[in-house]
Structure formats: structure tokens, C-alpha cells
Structure 1
Amino acid sequence: MEPVKFLPQRAPIEQFGAGGFRFAGMSHQGGLLVLPSGMRAWPIRSLAEMTADHFAPMIAEKDAIDFVLVGTGATMARLPAPVTAFLREQGLSFDAMATSPAIHIYNVTVVEGRRVAAAFLPVDRANV
């Protein structure tokens, strides 16, 4: 089953927290995957759930991506070793950090028109 596609383009994240994200006047609870083809639900809520398979939609579009940001939730954490190895094998440049700074960097790069993709785990605290 293909994940719900919210928007057929990338857009800045307007707000996040309380387990979700707001972008382009829309609201979503849970993880968010941002690809050149659009923004969609990402079916994980924590690093413990993350596998290389969760990045399959990103790999399908890797020729249109120069850099990947991964938001790891409320705190900075390393990606699971198999995920790191998989992304490197696929030739993707990436950086993992807490979701808050990842969103700030993403917003700047998307406004600049750069070829960025992102995978954001939600942050549960309110009013971030």
C-alpha cells in the first residue's frame, strides 16, 4: 500500500511538535517523509522501528536528491547501523540530528531550491 501523499511537492514545515507536523496549511500526526515528488506519511515513530526498508521511497527518487536530512526525534541520536550502511551503499549523502534542527536546515534548503530530501520522526512535546 502506497503511503498517503499529502502534497505533490516539497514545502517548508510551518510547525511541529505534539507528535506531528504542519506544512502548506495541512496537519499530519506521525513521521513525515519529504521527497522530490512530495510530502507523505512515514510509518514510523521512533528510531527503534527504523529499518532500511523505510527508505525505499527515497531510494526510488535518489537521482533527484543531493542530500538527505534525518530528524531523529526530540534528541540527536545515531541511525541504526544497518540504515547507515544502506544509505551509504545507495550513494546518498545524509546527516542525522534531532528533528528540530533538521527541520530548520530543511526549511532553509527547500526555500533555496536545493535538492534535499528528509525523513522526520515526530517530537511529542507541544509548541516546538
Structure 2
Amino acid sequence: MRLDKAGRAEGPTISGIVGRGFRVDEGVYEGLLITPERAGGWSPPPLAELSPDALAPLLALDPLPEFLILGTGSRMLRPAPTLVAALEAKGVGVEAMDSRAAARAWGVLRAELRWIAAALYPLD
């Protein structure tokens, strides 16, 4: 699947879905952490065990992202309420959706120049 850009924002761009992962610029990542400044592979814990520590590279963004897009794999699952509460206590909201929708949302929101971060679980 190819994702066309709605606009042009600086920084990494998710351009497609390849197998279980995501094409970002010249790389393919099964699990992905992405900010307006950089993208990198991610080996996420099971969703029920996801903690702010596992998202540390995203929370190091200065300023903090407006919110975190959390792609939960092939289907939308809710993250643990404790994770959501911990991120909201830092001023970072969480928008959970399946990882395909999260990849599309990344492109749309970055085209609007929104200062966001995303953590995408691999597709099953």
C-alpha cells in the first residue's frame, strides 16, 4: 500500500506499508517511533505492558509533542489507562488507532505542520 502526501512537511515521511511494517524515507521498520525530527525502528513490548519508558525517545522531543498517535497493530486496541494517565500528566494526549490508520494520520497531521509523535506496532 502506498500513502500519498497531502502536503509537504519537513522530517520523516511514512510513504507506504510493506508486509508487517512501514516504509519511511529509504527504510522499512516493522515497529516504528517517529517524530518530526527522526524515525527509527522499535521493538515494542506487549501493548498491556507499554510504559512511558518504552516511549522515552518520543517524550524527549522539545517541545513535547501535542499528542501521541499510538498505532496498536492490525486492529485498534485501547492502551492501559495507567499509560494514558502518565502521558496526560506530562501534557501529552494519546490517540489510539490501528497502525494503518495511524500511518495515514501521521501524513495528514504532519502536512498540517502539527508537532506530534507516533509509536506504531507492527501489523499482524
Q: Does 1:86 align with 2:86?
A: yes
Give the gaps of 5 or more residues in structure 2. 1-9
Q: Is the 8 A contact 2:21 2:31 kept in 1?
A: yes
Q: How far 1:122 sits from its partner (Å)?
A: 1.0
Q: Which residue of 2 aligns with 1:77?
A: 77
- Taking structure 1 as the reference length, the TM-score comes to 0.78
- Tell me the percent identity: 31
Q: Distance in 2 between matches of 1:47 and 1:17?
A: 22
Q: How far 1:111 sits from its partner (Å)?
A: 2.1
Q: Is the 8 A contact 2:64 2:92 kept in 1?
A: no
Q: Is the 8 A contact 2:69 2:96 kept in 1?
A: yes
Q: Which residue of 2 aligns with 1:38?
A: 38
Change in 2 beyond 3 A, CA 1:45/1:53: closer
Q: Does 1:54 align with 2:54?
A: yes
Q: CA RMSD in A?
A: 1.9
Deviates more, 1:71-80 or 1:13-22: 13-22
Aligned residues, how many? Answer: 115
Q: Is the 8 A contact 2:67 2:92 kept in 1?
A: yes
Q: Is the 8 A contact 2:59 2:65 kept in 1?
A: no
Query: For residues 34-86 of structure 1, what are the alpha-carbon distances to aligned partners after superposition, in whole Å with 9 as ceiling and x for unaligned?
Result: 12331012221641442221111222215242222110111111112221121
- Taking structure 2 as the reference length, the TM-score comes to 0.80
Q: Distance in 1 between matches of 2:71 and 2:34?
A: 11
Q: Is the 8 A contact 2:71 2:99 kept in 1?
A: yes
Q: Name the one with the larger strand percent.
A: 1
Q: Distance in 1 between matches of 2:31 and 2:46?
A: 9
Query: For residues 80-123 of structure 1, what are the alpha-carbon distances to aligned partners after superposition, in whole Å with 9 as ceiling and x for unaligned?
Result: 22211211111102211111111111111112222111111111
Give the gaps of 5 or more residues in structure 1. 1-8
